[in-house]
Structure 1
Amino acid sequence: MATPVLERTAARPAVRVEGIGPFEAARRRMIGPFLLPALLVYALVMIVPSVFTVWISFNDWAGAGPMEWAGLGNYTEMIADPVFGQSFVNTMKILFGVGGAVFLISFVLTMLLQDMVGRKFVRAVVFFPSLVPGLVIAILWGFMLDPDGLANSVLEALGVAEPPLWLAPENMFTTVMAGMTWLAAGTYTVIFMAAADRIPRAFYEAAELDGASAVRRFWHITMPLMWDVIGVCAVLWAIGALKTFEFVLVFAGATGSLPPTGLWTFSVYAYAGAFPSDGVPRYGIASAAAVLTMVLTVVLTLLVRRVMGRRERTDY
């Protein structure tokens, strides 16, 4: 026999709430006005200059006076330029060579420091170069590797008769890559260590009981569970590598002049077109280089996300 309360509940029709309350409606109406100033600033700072850069890339322009329509002329001239070809090769060396070294060093340090006593202090020491601006690191790197600098002085004290010429033309770009590796390795090591710290210790304990070595634990537990972080770091590195500019310009270039063309990257090539050491600026060529860099950055970012986009898994 149904109770009176149950009878009243069963007899009551279901109430379907349609729409939203007045407070929620007012809140939604205010989203647009509050976002508008930020959107306007973003459009003025990012969208408008980007569109204008694309437009300039199809014109010949010296920065003043009328523009002359060039169509794809700037792009074809740039691609046929051997200096641009060398800039492309140098940028790829930084992207893959320096990137591979940075990630390898970061992985090794993460594995070695996981159970190390005093790991926080070591992590702070490793991260220290990243706290110093890249321009300062480039200047210090040049002073240290100068023929009369600290590196050669130490080698001479150790009995090396002829210390290597770090800043010789044939060694210059390798030296640049080494400096960039030292500068970036600390940042990615700290990121990877933070990602490894969030992994439950029970996984490592179970693997250790099953006889898994430290290398296997890192490869089959740490790596898969921090794969999402590795993917984000790969995207960040790809974007940064394609924009490499200040380290090369400050380290390899003399005061007030551009570095040798054999050391140029995409960004230095674009800068040289807009601010040449001598001659008339060619903003069309510079804009074409900037647009190509932007396109490569987008394509490479999407490619990295596609390759790195797999689910986390653990197996040892």
Structure 2
Amino acid sequence: MSVGLKEPRAGKAALQNPDSRKPVTRKASAQGRQPGSSIDVQRKKLLVPFVGPAFVLYTVLFIVPALGAVWISLHKWAGSGPMKFVGLDNYGRIFRDPLFLSSFGNTLLLLFVVGAAIFILAFAMTLVLRDMAGKKVVRNVIFFPHLINALVFGVLAGFIFNPGGMVNSLLAPLGVTDPPKWLAQDNIFPLIMVTLVCTTTGYFTTILMAGVDRIPPYYYEDCALAGATAFQRLRYVILPLTWDVFGTCAVLWTISSVKIFEIVWVFGGSSGAGVPPTQSWTAAVYTYVNAFSGQSTPAYGAATASAVLSLALISVLVVLLRRAMRRDAVEF
């Protein structure tokens, strides 16, 4: 039987259906309240005592240090002694540094390539586990890697891929007498990307599963009665009603990916050099090396400039993500 279904109630039509079970949007409910109502007055009275302390704490712990970092980035400073004002010279210096450009490029690869792999796998696992018996146990198992520090995964990955590690030990019985040099400088960063996908997918799968599980069952019942295909149910029910969850996950990954440091430092250093090879550096590693390692006179000004650029990248991407994924929040 062919069914000319275009949008079941859980899609865009659900926001216009007069049925009592329809979802409503916060925007619509807010428009129904008159300005200057008692609710608005009470909110304004509670704004200072409840939001004020949090705003003061946020200012002291984040805004002030961020402004201080911007100020330091405009100076030439070795961490002690006088500071020499150099304006934007530190920014010009790091933009002329090929090592910074490659490190920044690696950070963008983690953000977009690894992020895309993580979300595709996480969403696929969410759909597979949605109706699976014992999914709570599976959810706990796949979430467990998030509880382990990234340093541990860096050390374990180093042991697994070193010349006498587990991977080469498994290849030996297969007749591979000359196993690949996994920890060669050109191979470390791809392995780091694979490791991040394996250790992070479970975390975002758990969040997406929570978003899918909150969808009321009657949406699926309506789709079944309307003869909706699996793709139509995915397009008009699951994706629209979990869009805000995807947005939250995208922001979380954006913030996390720009700050990745530990696993790169430990995994890259497992090759025996101590400092990771430059091919595997991220923006965070570049900042650390300039400030604390790799040179006799630390360049705190240049290091802080690279940190400020990372902060600017996070801020811009988060704003763009929020704008690109903005839509009325659906309550059901």
TM-score by length of 1: 0.83
Q: Deviations over 1:271-314 (max 9, x none)?
A: 1111122320000001100111111111110000011112478x
Whether the aligned pair in 1 keeps the contact of 2:255 and 2:314 (CA below 8 Å) is: yes
Correspondences of 1:105-124 after superposition (within 5 Å): 105-124=121-140
User: Does the alignment pair 1:217 with 2:233?
Assistant: yes
Instruction: Look up the equivalent residue of 1:296 and give its one-letter code.
Output: L
> In structure 1, how many angstroms separate the alpha carbons of the residues matched to 2:322 and 2:268?
33
> In structure 2, how many angstroms separate the alpha carbons of the residues matched to 1:225 and 1:212?
17
What is the aligned partner in structure 1 of residue 187 from structure 2?
A: 171
How many residues are paired up?
288
Correspondences of 1:1-316 after superposition (within 5 Å): 31=49, 41-254=57-270, 257-311=274-328
Higher mean Cα deviation, 109-118 or 138-147? 138-147
Identity of aligned residues (%): 45
Alpha-carbon spacing, 1:146–1:59, altered in 2? closer, same or farther (3 Å):
same
What is the aligned partner in structure 1 of residue 19 from structure 2?
A: none
Structure number with higher relative contact order (C-alpha < 8 Å, ≥ 6 residues apart): 2
Alpha-carbon spacing, 1:66–1:136, altered in 2? closer, same or farther (3 Å):
same
> In structure 2, how many angstroms separate the alpha carbons of the residues matched to 1:54 and 1:116?
51
Q: Which has the larger radius of gyration?
A: 1
Higher mean Cα deviation, 149-158 or 74-83? 149-158
Q: Deviations over 1:108-150 (max 9, x none)?
A: 0001011112211221221121121111111112111222111
> In structure 1, how many angstroms separate the alpha carbons of the residues matched to 2:47 and 2:203?
42
Alpha-carbon spacing, 1:184–1:51, altered in 2? closer, same or farther (3 Å):
same
In structure 1, runs of 5+ residues without a counterpart are: 1-19
Whether the aligned pair in 2 keeps the contact of 1:95 and 1:237 (CA below 8 Å) is: yes
Instruction: Look up the equivalent residue of 1:183 and give its one-letter code.
Output: T
Whether the aligned pair in 2 keeps the contact of 1:273 and 1:282 (CA below 8 Å) is: yes
Instruction: Look up the equivalent residue of 2:78 and give its one-letter code.
Output: A
> In structure 2, how many angstroms separate the alpha carbons of the residues matched to 1:31 and 1:205?
46
Whether the aligned pair in 2 keeps the contact of 1:58 and 1:72 (CA below 8 Å) is: yes
> In structure 2, how many angstroms separate the alpha carbons of the residues matched to 1:109 and 1:197?
13
What is the aligned partner in structure 2 of residue 10 from structure 1?
A: none
Deviation of 1:159 (Å): 4.5
Whether the aligned pair in 2 keeps the contact of 1:224 and 1:312 (CA below 8 Å) is: no
Deviation of 1:203 (Å): 1.4
What is the aligned partner in structure 2 of residue 12 from structure 1?
A: none
Equivalent residue of 1:208, what SS? helix
In structure 2, runs of 5+ residues without a counterpart are: 1-37
TM-score by length of 2: 0.80
Alpha-carbon spacing, 1:251–1:115, altered in 2? closer, same or farther (3 Å):
same
Deviation of 1:161 (Å): 4.6
> In structure 2, how many angstroms separate the alpha carbons of the residues matched to 1:136 and 1:188?
20
Q: Deviations over 1:220-277 (max 9, x none)?
A: 3211110001001101111111111111111112579421122111111111111122
Equivalent residue of 1:230, what SS? helix
